[in-house]
Structure 1
């Protein structure tokens, strides 16, 4: 009896499903609106196919025209060169042009190699200094246009800079340039990158940093160049004296007398 009841229940469900198919689904599938939609889609697909085919033909035609134009240009250049070489003066001009092109290619190759090397060194030096200031949390990337991005090392993605971090980038760039200048001057082999050494002059370099970063900056500055001249406020001056007092050769105080007069003490 129990099985008969189960069979009866299933039969009722089947009949309900058949009713839904017959009365709801089939009319929708067989209706004119469905046929019209299918026809519209088919027509759109066919039209897209025709447009694609037309554009391919136009592309092939244009490629043929480009090829023919290039051949004509090469032929015209050859004729011009042949005519130019017909006179002694023009032959000399062609020789001079060949020399100039050779020199340009050689210099450009040397420039490209040296520029890439300098940019790589600059990035490495900046990262060394920038990482010291920011405890290794960030690094910098320099692209071919010398645009500098700051990367958060924990996510390996660019970050928006705070004011202090922006100053860190500027500080790292300037000090890296000075460091490289000193290295070039001391180098006995790299004559192409030789340069003079200059003192590093800084105006209130610590004012945008907190105390932790000031310590890192003060530890970094004396290692970068042979002479550093710093103009600094009293509060920052106390911190500078605390962190790099043993590296300071001379210190002076500029006392303001008026808006137009100061005294060096």
Structure 2
């Protein structure tokens, strides 16, 4: 009880210190929060998150299949990919793709030579960095969900005449999805916040947009508060949607598991 009271006093004290300092222009925060340029930055953040997440789901599934396959070659290739992209910082990867033109000035196609700098724009570099990095983590999330299901489930499905593909879709995946979704949801939220790193290459997402505005009006702290509030809003919405999806899938899986399988 005493600890809780002390924590409340500290929180209110810090809030009073920030609000009552008189150094923060709250009117600037209100004016820019829903400004057109800031909303465009929010849309860019959502685009980067959605595109990277969708691409990583596809690539992560391919890598997970390679990881659990009986082919040693595929296993080694997938393992090397995961080792590299999980072992190097995301910021380094983003900056590398942005400067890829220094390594390969032109991309040669049959009868055509394309400038690398015109092909890999800041947005393209951001997408490449985010997608390839997150795919390594998504692979392990999906693989973990698949191997969490008892092998006997597949063997039982095969014994009643199901094909391996049908057993995977009807028996394994509905159960594995309950393991995959919480981890994948947390990864998506981390990805949403990680998009802030791409501002270093000039991408106008939330942080990049707020810093661009601050460079013009000199309200640095106020614009950082605007960016932080937008991240909090998006993460709160994403967390709510994740919770609803987990609840829905739990009910769906329960219904599937109680319905007799058809041959």
TM-score (structure 1 length as normaliser): 0.24
Report which of the two has the higher share of strand.
1
Report which of the two has the higher share of helix.
2
Higher CA-based Rg: 1
Higher RCO structure (Cα 8 Å, ≥6 apart): 2
